[in-house]
Chain A
Amino acid sequence: MGVEGIGARVTRKEDKRFLTGKGRYTDDMTVPGMKYAYFVRSPHAHAKIVNIDVSAAKSMPGVIDVLDGRQLQADGIGNLICGWMIHSKDGSPMKMGAWRPLAVDTVRYVGDAIAIVVADSSGEARDAAEAVVIDYEVLPAVADVAAAMQAGAPQIHPEAPGNLIYDWQIGDPDAADRAIAAAAHVTEIDIVNNRLSPNPMEPRATLGIYDSAEDHYTCYTTSQNPHVARLVMSAFYNVAPENKLRVIAPDVGGGFGSKIYIYPEEIVCLWASKKTNVPVKWTSDRTEAFLTDAHGRDHISKVKMAFDADHRITALKVDTIANLGAYMSLFSSAVPTYLYATLLSGQYAIPAIHANVRTVYTNTVPVDAYRGAGRPEATYLLERTMETAARELGLSPAELRRKNFIRSFPYQTPVIMNYDAGNYEASLDAAMQAADWSGFATRRSEAQARGKKRGIGMSCYIEACGIAPSAAVGSLGAGVGLWESAEVRVNAVGTIEVLTGSHSHGQGHETTFAQLVASRLGVPIESINIVHGDTDKVQMGMGTYGSRSGAVGMSAIVKALDKVEAKAKKIAAHLMEADESDIVIENGELKIAGTDKTLPWFQVALAAYTAHNLPSGMEPGLKETAFYDPSNFTFPAGCYIAEVEVDPETGETDIIQFVAADDFGNIINPLIVEGQVHGGLAQGIGQALLEGVHYDENGQLLTASFMDYAMPRADDLPSFKLSHQNTPCPSNPLGIKGCGEAGAIGSPPALINAITDAIGTNRLTMPATSMKVWQAMHAAH
């Protein structure tokens, strides 16, 4: 592997700028003449806009202009869209209500943008926003799905009667019903997956710059996928044609899904820059982030799992209702369908599965993908159900899982996915050994002697990453292809730039992608730069989400490297008068195999550009582009074990140990992969113990700051025990699966299984706060 190549624990190339304050995030950008924006937002969850009076605001100090939705509409700016078409089981298309970047006649959630104020300073913009007078006719609002689905509930969009967006299904309902009727045992459980706020530490921001001389727009933005932002803003929102719109996502301070989507603010700031003829910058504050960043999860489900007399699962039947908020965000429709229900087979051979999913509008901020996106919901549902079944059947949780593991691959599930490889028992065994599972009974007795309730819980997760063959997702309704691109540009002196459509916002691509190139060519990683995040520099790309940058983004680099190497070998063969097939690339040299005849890499690069002596007919230069479209999803899987102690007096949960055994296939950089798991675990543990978005019955957000929404802090978490099993993925050239989301997917059920084991009652919902745990203990007695 070498000290810098694939598999090495290389410290990150990008760290120095972040450690010395030289990171360049969107809010750090200033350009001459730049002004500041503040958005006027609805204080009501549901209301008609009767009148907007901006006259007082316009005369406030420093104000350049105040613009509203009617002007935006008059200029032809389009509505926001959801880019994944889902059809209901009756064949009808999903019911997408209009989402205007600035609301014109109706507001549908607290925080819905109505007008933009542009002023000399952010303080003046904020002051003037206070002076915008809006008359509302307040309408009844609904914040949860149960209320939204009741007869006579307030109607949120005229396009969606009963607030129902779609009523979709997957699998075979009759087969599932038959198996349940014939079962020796049926476990039934209601599952709630709590609503979360992603909260990357960098709030969203955007800087819109209109150049009237060139009729050209530049958009700096906090995006995980700048090319998709440009595509959508051009093709659907009529901001500008693609050749007149440059989108730059510079350093981005975390995303976790919430920065995939194109929000109203980017569109409005670009448009406002043209209207006012000044560059316009907007930076979200944290309360605005809680109010307007897409939330995650928010499912309620009813589950039946059937077993035969030998404790083999014979069927799974799931009925889920998902809250999509007030509008359909960019990929919102795909999350509770193809990213969720297709994973309901988990690690288990289940002959019959049926899932029905209804999605519902409410007067809350839109809900979309958040770290894991559908897969945490599937895993939580399955692993809580498996644990409950084991308790009902009087079996050890490990043995019930072991008995039902899929053991032969490829394995076709009844819900679309075709698992290409896996070894679930290896992760289970590794986790149980690391957790000293067999010593738990002794530890429990010891804790009992101290007056503490000790519990242990496991979770065996599977997920699907590297989304996915473009033709396959297209047939399921995706509006885009999900390939990735790379250009490997060898300079005349042999240094290398790799242009990638993936985007790094914490994942360390500048290091791992360089490791791949270093491995292939044997050149030092200092001589390799990774270029990303700018539509003017990088060819079209699809961005980073769903743990796809390794499996898809790096595979594109492999393809481009193949082409570069092939051309370099031709040049070297020509220069050394050897046969092309005898040339090998080793340690930064091109060598005639079996001889000591070599050419340094830089000489071959130089020869490509001087073009004085190239093979006949060869074009000068050494630069190749590749687009890689995966042949399948990848399927990371693993086993997590949590051990907790609950204080019976207070209900407080202390995590004694947390073990994660993950199979990510081949690993490029273990240091970075471990970091991804740590971060995912913290978010999953946060969901299980601390985090929850709460709206009151009128749709007012009660958790709109870090004072009210409990983010995991250092003293809420333990250090983690990690191990890796490495079953290579056969579906991509590097054999890698993806590691970004596993921690957040596998950890919540392990925690809740452990706490319910400790307190001896199975009824507990996330977040399992001290109060809820205490109440659950006392309700049980």
Chain B
Amino acid sequence: MTKVTLTVNGRTMSGECEDRTLLVHFIREKLGLTGTHVGCDTTQCGACVIHMDGRSVKSCSILAVQASGSTITTIEGLAGQSELHPVQAAFKEHHGLQCGFCTPGMVMTAVDMINRHGGSLTEEKVRAELDGNICRCTGYHNIVKAILAADAEMASGRQAAE
């Protein structure tokens, strides 16, 4: 067993795990943050996407011990003190979720997408960027709509701040 220490959603958290433990299982089972999901065994579905040191990562594709010392944001910590992050709010407004299982990964991917391409997203670009996230409920139609709306809103928020 190895001790792993992470900064998760602004708090330092530690736990013991086997060397083979995947980060997603560490987050779910040791830290009790069950918002991050496991939808496949082959890094295809993206239900487990989190942010690690500011970048989106599939937490099923990294060992917990590899992540030790890093700063993690999960879906539970995304909004910070606010009610909902603008991307979460846009998913609600545009009905970008149904069963909710892929949703945390979708939202974390979308936030990262907007961070990287803020203000310049198009439908085609969003669809291409969602290649690593599978949703079985929505047909992606409203997810794409929600991400574009959040991108526009966050861009106008940045302009207003400047």
Q: Does B56 contact A (CB under 8 A)?
A: no
Minimum C-beta distance from A654 to chain B (A): 12
Q: Does A675 contact B (CB under 8 A)?
A: yes
Contact across chains for A19 and B107 when beta carbons are under 8 A apart: yes
Determine the interface band of chain B, counting residues with CB < 8 A from chain A: 35 or more
Question: Which 10 residue pairs spanning A and B have beta carbons closest together?
Answer: A21-B35, A18-B100, A253-B101, A682-B139, A506-B99, A678-B139, A706-B44, A506-B98, A714-B130, A21-B75
Minimum C-beta distance from B47 to chain A (A): 6
Choice from A24, A254, A720 contacting B136 with Cβ under 8 Å: A254
Quick one: CB contact mask for B92-129 with A, threshold 8 Å, 1 for yes? 11010111111110010000000000000001001110
B92 contacts which chain A residues (CB < 8 A)?
11-12, 15-16, 19
20 contacting pairs across A/B (C-beta < 8 A): A11-B93, A19-B92, A19-B103, A21-B35, A21-B104, A22-B35, A23-B35, A201-B99, A253-B102, A254-B99, A283-B38, A506-B99, A506-B100, A675-B138, A679-B98, A705-B42, A714-B128, A717-B139, A719-B145, A720-B141
Minimum C-beta distance from B5 to chain A (A): 21
B137 contacts which chain A residues (CB < 8 A)?
201, 254, 506, 675, 679
Q: Does B154 contact A (CB under 8 A)?
A: no
Contact across chains for B144 and A714 when beta carbons are under 8 A apart: yes
Contact across chains for B131 and A715 when beta carbons are under 8 A apart: yes
Contact across chains for B142 and A256 when beta carbons are under 8 A apart: no
A283 contacts which chain B residues (CB < 8 A)?
38
Minimum C-beta distance from B89 to chain A (A): 8
Judged by DSSP, the binding face of A is loop
Known: A12-B95, A21-B76. 16 other contacts (CB 8 A): A16-B92, A17-B100, A18-B97, A18-B103, A19-B92, A20-B79, A200-B101, A200-B136, A256-B136, A283-B38, A287-B41, A678-B138, A680-B139, A682-B136, A714-B128, A719-B144
Minimum C-beta distance from A732 to chain B (A): 24
* Contacts known (A11-B93, A717-B139, A720-B139); A252 close to B134, Cβ less than 8 A: no
Interface centre among A251, A253, A683, A707 (most CB of B within 10 A): A253
Choice from B36, B42, B127 contacting A715 with Cβ under 8 Å: B127
Chain B, Cβ-Cβ closest to A121: B18
Contact across chains for B88 and A201 when beta carbons are under 8 A apart: no
Inter-chain CA distance A254–B136, complex, in Å, is: 8
Quick one: CB contact mask for A8-45 with B, threshold 8 Å, 1 for yes? 00011011111111111101100000000000000000
Q: Does B34 contact A (CB under 8 A)?
A: yes
Q: Does A266 contact B (CB under 8 A)?
A: no
Contact across chains for B34 and A674 when beta carbons are under 8 A apart: no
B103 contacts which chain A residues (CB < 8 A)?
18-19, 23
Minimum C-beta distance from A256 to chain B (A): 7
In the complex, which residues 673-707 of chain A have their Cβ closer than 8 Å to any Cβ of chain B?
A: 674-675, 678-683, 705-707
Interface size for A (C-beta < 8 A) is 58
Contact across chains for A23 and B100 when beta carbons are under 8 A apart: yes
Contact across chains for A285 and B136 when beta carbons are under 8 A apart: no
Inter-chain CA distance A16–B100, complex, in Å, is: 10
Give the A-binding residues of B (Cβ under 8 A).
Answer: 18, 20-21, 28, 33-42, 44-45, 47, 74-76, 78-79, 84, 88, 91-93, 95, 97-104, 107, 123, 126-128, 130-131, 133-145
Inter-chain CA distance A256–B136, complex, in Å, is: 9
Minimum C-beta distance from A3 to chain B (A): 15
Q: Does A93 contact B (CB under 8 A)?
A: no
Chain B, Cβ-Cβ closest to A289: B40
B131 contacts which chain A residues (CB < 8 A)?
713-715
Inter-chain CA distance A707–B44, complex, in Å, is: 7
Q: Does A508 contact B (CB under 8 A)?
A: yes
Interface centre among B34, B47, B91, B143 (most CB of A within 10 A): B34
Contact across chains for B127 and A19 when beta carbons are under 8 A apart: no
B42 contacts which chain A residues (CB < 8 A)?
286, 705-707
A161 contacts which chain B residues (CB < 8 A)?
none
Chain B, Cβ-Cβ closest to A672: B95
A256 contacts which chain B residues (CB < 8 A)?
136
Inter-chain CA distance A726–B87, complex, in Å, is: 33
Choice from A11, A200, A203, A706 contacting B95 with Cβ under 8 Å: A11
B28 contacts which chain A residues (CB < 8 A)?
28
Chain B, Cβ-Cβ closest to A203: B39
* Contacts known (A16-B84, A20-B76, A201-B101); A286 close to B93, Cβ less than 8 A: no
Q: Does A182 contact B (CB under 8 A)?
A: no
B40 contacts which chain A residues (CB < 8 A)?
285-286, 705-706
In the complex, which residues 421-457 of chain A have their Cβ closer than 8 Å to any Cβ of chain B?
A: none
Inter-chain CA distance A777–B109, complex, in Å, is: 39
Contact across chains for A714 and B143 when beta carbons are under 8 A apart: yes
Q: Does A384 contact B (CB under 8 A)?
A: no
Inter-chain CA distance A720–B142, complex, in Å, is: 10
B44 contacts which chain A residues (CB < 8 A)?
705-707, 711
